[in-house]
Amino acid sequence: MTAKICFTMDNLSDAADLGRGVIDKPRPAGQRPALDQGFPAMLDLYDRYGVKVTHFLEGWNGEAHPDIVEDLVNMGHSVGMHGWQHEAWSELSLEQEIELMGRSTDALHQASGIKPTAFRAPGGKRTANTLKLLTEFGYSIDSSLNDQGEDGGEIQALTETLWHVPHLEATIDARQWLQKSIPAKEVELSWLKVLEQTREKNGFLLFIWHPHVMGVNADYLKVGESILHSVSQEKEFEIVTLQELVAEKMAEQTTEQAKV
């Protein structure tokens, strides 16, 4: 038995700042640290360890940076949907959610050539309508918080075709560094401890990192390097994709049903 470790990434470029009204137009090249520095740094980090991630992108990037979206897929990563411009997803009306989900799905599909099938709600929280709409739009994975807005839990089927892959708030770089300002070394030790706990129970663990957080800070990148090194060197860890996590769970469910 091995513990399954999955790495994912959220956000890209100016989408969230445009959505929040921090800026009224995209920043020019050379003034976009998250895109110009953070994003390449994260890709280099993953590449050195042979890790393939699901990058949850705002749909706006499909129109603004279609070449980048296409390149991600060509490099073997997968693209998930993360709203249009990182809206407060749980506050959307039904009409807004339908419009933004459709627009984002189409933009990412057109840019990458592959329709996204994984979703993570911006801010983590979904609406009462999200699961039904995700199913209608053909999504098979939701990696948001649960119905109560809580983290953690097990991978489980939400509908016949839609699976929930939960995460821990503690393994989100933005929670630790942007919101709590915890020193890098403390976060590293905390993540290593969670990894050890995951190994002991042969469980799964999902990390969420960001180009504008880890990617632009040398100390934070060293923590990412430490985590990837530890996971890749330990034979009791297996690095898997989000899709592989769900596929394994589906296989387990099929086996259990066959026994009945």
pLDDT for 260 equals: 61
Tally of domains within the chain: 1
Q: What is the pLDDT of residue 254?
A: 75
For residue 162, the model assigns a pLDDT of 97
Reading the chain (260 residues) residue by residue, the pLDDT tens digits are 799 999 999 999 999 999 999 999 999 999 999 999 999 999 999 999 999 999 999 999 999 999 999 999 999 999 999 999 999 999 999 999 999 999 999 999 999 999 999 999 999 999 999 999 999 999 999 999 998 999 999 999 999 999 999 999 999 999 999 999 999 999 999 999 999 999 999 999 999 999 999 999 999 999 999 999 999 999 999 999 999 999 999 988 877 776 66
> CA quadruple 105, 111, 115, 118: dihedral positive or negative?
negative
pLDDT of residue 126: 97
230: its two tokens: 């530890």
Q: The domain that contains 217 carries what CATH number?
A: 3.20.20.370
Q: How many CA atoms lie within 13 A of 47 on its CB side?
A: 10
**What are the distances in angstroms from CA 140 to CA 210, 215, 237?**
23, 29, 25
Give the domain extent around 233.
3-259
